[in-house]
């Protein structure tokens, strides 16, 4: 499973990515459904610019090189799926966890914000990927921890 801090960091990374890809109007709908979205995105951006916090080490820098790491054209935010996956890697989140979280967040935002980010995230619509049921409840739990 994911720790709470991994979960928050991962959600922050997703929100940062969505913020760079979606219209301001859509992102403000997300912020209404998840009031912490903007703050989580800013925290994630700061981690990227600051070298990923804690995750560092050789693996962190290798993932950074693969994922484009910091300082792209966007001023260091997450503006591509490669950046996002690299960011997950730095937080110690594996691809299955990441995909499950993105799928669940897509479903949550579709239901609660009236915005469907699945095309942006490449999660192709509704629910969790194969065998991600435990992760589904974990994502719901995390989002529940943020209130509604």
Sign of CA dihedral 117, 73, 97, 147: negative
Q: Which of the pair, 110 or 64, is modelled with greater confidence?
A: 110
Instruction: Give the per-residue pLDDT at 139.
Output: 59
Instruction: Give the per-residue pLDDT at 122.
Output: 82
Segment (H or E) for 144 = helix 133-145
- The band of 78, judged by pLDDT with boundaries at 50, 70 and 90, is confident
Q: Token pair for residue 74? A: 């966007």
Instruction: Give the per-residue pLDDT at 124.
Output: 64
- Nearest CA to 100 out of 70, 131, 72 is that of 131
pTM greater than 0.75 (yes/no): no
Instruction: Give the per-residue pLDDT at 131.
Output: 35
């Amino acid at each position: 499973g994911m720790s709470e801090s991994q979960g928050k960091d991962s959600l922050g990374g997703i929100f940062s990515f969505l913020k760079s890809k979606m219209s301001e109007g859509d992102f403000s709908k997300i912020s209404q459904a998840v009031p912490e979205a903007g703050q989580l995105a800013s925290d994630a951006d700061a981690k990227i610019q600051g070298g990923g916090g804690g995750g560092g080490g050789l693996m962190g820098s290798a993932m950074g090189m693969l994922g484009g790491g910091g300082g792209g054209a966007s001023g260091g935010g997450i503006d591509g799926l490669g950046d996002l996956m690299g960011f997950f890697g730095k937080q110690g989140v594996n691809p299955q966890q990441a995909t499950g979280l993105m799928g669940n967040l897509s479903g949550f935002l579709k239901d609660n914000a009236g915005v469907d980010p699945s095309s942006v995230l490449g999660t192709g619509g509704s629910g969790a990927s194969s065998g991600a049921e435990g992760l589904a409840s974990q994502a719901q739990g995390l989002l529940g921890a943020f209130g509604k």
